Amino acid sequence: MKLRNIAIIAHVDHGKTTLVDALLKQSGSVRDNQRVDERAMDSNDLERERGITILAKATSVVWKDVRINIVDTPGHADFGGEVERILNMVDGAVLLVDSAEGPMPQTKFVVGKALKVGLRPIVAVNKIDRPDARPDEVVNEVFDLFAALDATDEQLDFPILYGSGRDGWMNFDPAGPKEEGLAPLFDLVLRHVPEPKVEDGPFRMIGTILEANPFLGRIITGRIASGSVKPNQAVKVLSRDGALLEQGRISKILAFRGLERQPIEEAHAGDIVAIAGLSKGTVADTFCDPAVNEPLPAQPIDPPTVTMSFLVNDSPLAGTEGDKVTSRVIRDRLLREAEGNVALKVEESSDKDSFFVSGRGELQLSVLIETMRREGFELAVSRPRVVMKRDENGQLLEPVEEVVIDVDEEHAGVVVQKMSERKAEMIELRPSGGGRQRLVFHAPTRGLIGYQSELLTDTRGTAVMNRLFHAYEPYKGEIGGRVNGVLIANEPGEAVAYALWNLEDRGPMIIEPGTKVYQGMIVGIHTRDNDLEVNVLKGKKLTNIRAAGKDDAVKLTPPIRMTLERALSWIQEDELVEVTPKSIRLRKLYLDPHERKRFEKQKFAGAA
């Protein structure tokens, strides 16, 4: 059967996964009476909760006797490592752009990568039914973006479709007709996307997606570059530098058929398949016939920019809520994650009880922590820190990001002020329609840690921020941190409502009555800039003499809810977030007050 391999690329929330749903339905891959979840390709629990794609996934449809392999990619910059690998598997791409928002930072990132590997994208202007749609301007912006990214004349001559993935139609005219559904898109893919390039020689395939299966073991997905492969065939695995990693036999070959993966007896060059049976081969390795000695070239991956410490949980409540608590178990889990995620880097510390995990951004790392937490892990994590570098002259360099903020005009002033405090440099300010403005900054990654929640507070939840790694630039100088100190529990026990009520004038609480606390645990935010030890266990003294006034029930102000992302961005260098399957607690690095004072003295002595 003839083949086409395409990726669907776009910025987050521009409708990739919804479009794939419609493609599956209209190609007949899903029966009319079959119950299919909305955004069927987002199979992971976290993807469904957050409404974003985290892992790239493949599917296939048949149109006019041609099998079209489709890869749905993540739209968030933190998961850009997934997109970079996927583009090696495909011969074409459908670039989805929102008809109102136009090209966004992540659009720029994925288009740049697609143009670099020589793809000629099809541009689909999605969500054409939006009341603030501006399709003509968006197409001009896409053309300008292609030109700015040094596209060739062939790539600049891109075909354009307009439509709505949710309503299941695409056409060459923004007005329709809509009756043809997605047939114009299918036909354009067959005409515009070339057949897979097939090289001569024995079986070779580069690993692109890795997953673990409880029955089949490691499953590697990739595109076969040359030759063919059958179950029980002998193969070997070569690393990127040509070293032999392992030899073995393929136990099963799985092909993508709609939403299912089906075993097949033979797969040929050009097809995207998943193979099982090997225990060491991973992403970017070459799986090949024993006669092959040269690995296939793998695309270099952008470096990680943010790092965090993952520590064994040593709090007094350790082991009470999770069953995976030892450093060995945490180490194995992190190394397993790093195997399948090339944008992640894991290093062991000298004391073997903590690990440095580096990634593309806070979101990527917080998704990893949330996944581990749901698997039953208990661990403590530090505040995210940026990965610094030095150039050949010894000058300190730090990562700088391009930040695009869409905000209502009335809030633009406070955004500009807050960003300038974070050493950001404004590049552009222009109206983006509907009384909104688009602000573009170059800002150091350090200054953006924790800014998302502050931005939403400042703009009453109306701002949308998008970030993308820009470059390493000279160090911008000190950036002010958190202005408030914290309230710290001074005894272990269960928090009492009366004690919390008495402490309300000291600052807002982050715990509820009945919460288990321990010495050194953070229970609230101090109104001043220093830390304060408080007693949250002190109940009301009971006597047999009635009070003259009626004893009213204690009315507490609701506590501030600390989500994982908020906690990670809020804590300081001397604080940790304790993560368990049931709780997220904040604590001081040193639980004992004497040790904390000693640490403070050393810090001041070092600064002096």
The pLDDT tens digits for 456-514 are 888 888 888 877 778 888 988 888 777 888 999 999 999 988 889 889 899 999 999 99
505 is in an annotated binding site: no
Nearby residues of 246 by Cβ (< 8 Å), 6 or more positions away: 236, 237, 278, 279, 280, 281
d(CA 442, CA 192): 37
Cα angle, residue 483 at apex, residues 488 and 409 outer, rounded to 5°: 130
d(CA 217, CA 172): 45
330 is in an annotated binding site: no
128 is in an annotated binding site: yes
Q: What is the DSSP letter of 409?
A: G
13 is in an annotated binding site: yes
Buried b (16+ CB within 10 A) or exposed e, 355-364: bbbbbbbbbb
16 is in an annotated binding site: yes
How many other CB atoms sit within 10 Å of the CB of residue 153? 6
What are residue 266's DSSP bridge partners?
none
Task: Please write the tens of the pLDDT for every residue from 424-458.
Answer: 999 988 887 667 888 899 999 888 887 877 888 88
- C-alpha to C-alpha distances, 123 to 9, 115, 158, nearest whole angstrom: 10, 13, 7
CA dihedral 219, 225, 229, 235 (to 10 degrees): -70
Element (H, E) at 267: strand 267-268
Cβ proximity of 564 and 577 under 8 Å: yes
Confidence check: pLDDT of 80 > 50: yes
Q: Sort strands 66-72 and 2-10 into parallel, antiparallel or unpaired.
A: parallel
Residue 319 is which amino acid? G
Q: Give me 405's structure tokens.
A: 């903020």
Cα angle, residue 363 at apex, residues 358 and 365 outer, rounded to 5°: 35
Q: What is the DSSP letter of 277?
A: -
Query: Rounded mean pLDDT of 185-212?
Result: 86
127 is in an annotated binding site: yes
C-alpha gyration radius of the chain: 27
17 is in an annotated binding site: yes
With 0-12 / 13-18 / 19 or more C-beta atoms within 10 angstroms meaning exposed / middle / buried, residue 560 is middle
What are residue 237's DSSP bridge partners?
246, 287
204-288 CATH pick, 2.60.120.10, 3.40.50.300, 2.40.30.10, 2.30.40.10: 2.40.30.10
Higher model confidence: residue 126 or residue 256? Answer: 126
Q: Give me 38's structure tokens.
A: 């909305």
What one-character-per-residue DSSP string does 438-454 give?
Answer: EEEEEEEHHHHTTHHHH
Task: Please write the tens of the pLDDT for every residue from 327-380.
Answer: 899 999 888 888 767 678 888 888 778 899 988 777 778 888 988 998 899 999
Q: Where in the chain is the domain with CATH 2.40.30.10?
A: 204-288
Q: What pLDDT sits at residue 519?
A: 92
Confidence check: pLDDT of 148 > 80: yes
CA dihedral 339, 341, 345, 346 (to 10 degrees): -50
- C-alpha to C-alpha distances, 380 to 15, 40, 173, 577, nearest whole angstrom: 36, 34, 54, 6
pLDDT band at 298 (very low <50, low <70, confident <90, very high): confident
Fold of 389-474: Alpha-Beta Plaits (3.30.70)
E strands in 139-203: 160-164, 169-171
> Residue for token digits 């049976």?
277
Residue 111 is which amino acid? V
Q: Where in the chain is the domain with CATH 2.40.50.250?
A: 486-607
248 is in an annotated binding site: no
CA dihedral 211, 212, 216, 217 (to 10 degrees): 120
Q: Give me 559's structure tokens.
A: 């506590």
Q: What pLDDT sits at residue 17?
A: 76
What are residue 587's DSSP bridge partners?
521, 576
486-607 CATH pick, 2.40.50.250, 1.10.260.40, 3.40.50.620, 3.40.50.300: 2.40.50.250
d(CA 273, CA 290): 20
Q: Where in the chain is the domain with CATH 3.30.70.240?
A: 389-474
d(CA 106, CA 466): 8
CATH says 2-192 is which class? alpha beta
